[in-house]
Amino acid sequence: MSENGKHTVYIDLDDEITAIIEKVKAAPEKIVALVLPKRATVLQSVVNMKLLKKSALAAKKSLVLITSEAGLLPLAGVVGIHVAKSLQSKPEIPLLPRRDDDMDSEISEALDDEPEVDKTKSVGALAAAAKPLDDDETETIELDDVDTAEEPDAEAPKGKKKLAKVFKVPNFDRFRLSFFLVILAVILLVGGWVFAAVVLPKATVLIDTDTSTSVSDITFTANTALNDLDLSKSLVPAVQKEVKKTDTEKATPTGKKDNGTKATGTMTLTNCINDANSHTVPAGTGFSNGSLTFTTNEAVTLEPALFSGPNCKSSTFGLNKDVGVTAIAGGTNYNVPAHAYTSSISGINAYGSDMAGGTTSVVTVVAQSDIDAAVAKMKGRQDTSATTDLANALQAGGLKGLDETKTISDPVITATPAVGTEGTADITITSVTTYDILGVKTDFLNQLIKKDVSTKATASKEGILDNGLGSALIHIVNKKSPTEVQMSLHAIVISGPTLDAGAIKDEIRGKKKGDAEQIISSKPGVKSVTITYKPFWVLSTPKAVKKITVTIKKPVVTPSTGKDTSNGYNP
Residue 348 maps to which CATH number?
Answer: 2.40.30
Give a yes or no: residue 565 inside a domain. no
Number of folded domains in the chain?
3
More confident residue, 297 or 174: 297
Say whether both 246 and 374 belong to one domain. yes
Give a yes or no: residue 482 inside a domain. no
Residue that terminates a domain, selected from 330, 360, 390: 360
> Average pLDDT in the 496-515 region?
90
Give a yes or no: residue 69 inside a domain. yes
Say whether both 273 and 371 belong to one domain. no
Give a yes or no: residue 528 inside a domain. no
Say whether both 28 and 146 belong to one domain. yes
Measure the CA–CA gap between 465 and 493, rounded to whole angstroms. Answer: 8
Check residue 496 and give its pLDDT. 81
Give a yes or no: residue 436 inside a domain. yes
Give a yes or no: residue 423 inside a domain. yes
Report the SS3 class of residue 3: strand
Summarize the chain as % helix, strand, coil (round to 5): 25, 35, 40
Say whether both 80 and 106 belong to one domain. yes
Say whether both 268 and 291 belong to one domain. yes
Check residue 131 and give its pLDDT. 45
Within 13 Å, how many C-alpha atoms sit on residue 182's CB side?
Answer: 6
Say whether both 157 and 296 belong to one domain. no
Say whether both 155 and 16 belong to one domain. yes
- Residue 569 pLDDT > 60, yes or no? no
Band of the pLDDT at 326, cuts 50, 70, 90? very high
Band of the pLDDT at 186, cuts 50, 70, 90? very high
Check residue 322 and give its pLDDT. 95
Say whether both 270 and 133 belong to one domain. no
Q: Where are the beta strands (DSSP E) in 12-108?
A: 31-35, 62-66, 82-84
Check residue 351 and give its pLDDT. 95
Say whether both 247 and 276 belong to one domain. no
DSSP bridge pairs for 204: 532, 549
Say whether both 337 and 292 belong to one domain. yes
Say whether both 136 and 246 belong to one domain. no
pLDDT digits (tens, 9 = 90+) for 390-401: 999 999 999 999
Check residue 23 and give its pLDDT. 85
Give a yes or no: residue 194 inside a domain. no
513 closest CA partner among 533, 537, 535, 536: 533
> Average pLDDT in the 252-278 region?
93
Q: Which backbone phi and psi does 284 adopt, to 5 degrees? A: 90, 5
326 closest CA partner among 283, 290, 365, 362: 283
Burial grade of 374 (CB within 10 A; 0-12, 13-18, 19 or more): buried
Residue that terminates a domain, selected from 360, 379, 397: 360
Give a yes or no: residue 458 inside a domain. no
Residue that terminates a domain, selected from 360, 377, 399: 360
Check residue 120 and give its pLDDT. 57
Q: Which residues contact 532 (CB under 8 A, 6 or more apart)?
A: 203, 204, 206
User: What is the amino acid identity at position 208?
Assistant: D
Check residue 481 and give its pLDDT. 93
Domain that holds residue 127: 2-164
pLDDT digits (tens, 9 = 90+) for 377-393: 999 999 999 999 999 99
Check residue 15 and give its pLDDT. 84
Band of the pLDDT at 410, cuts 50, 70, 90? very high
Say whether both 332 and 384 belong to one domain. no
Measure the CA–CA gap between 418 and 53, rounded to whole angstroms. Answer: 105
- Residue 65 pLDDT > 80, yes or no? yes
329-333, 341-345, 493-497, 562-566: the lowest-pLDDT one: 562-566
403-412, 518-527, 548-557: the lowest-pLDDT one: 548-557
User: What is the amino acid identity at position 489?
Assistant: L
Encode burial over 207-246: b for 16+ CB neighbours within 10 A, e otherwise: bbbebbbbbbebebbbbeeeeebeeeebbbbbbebebebe
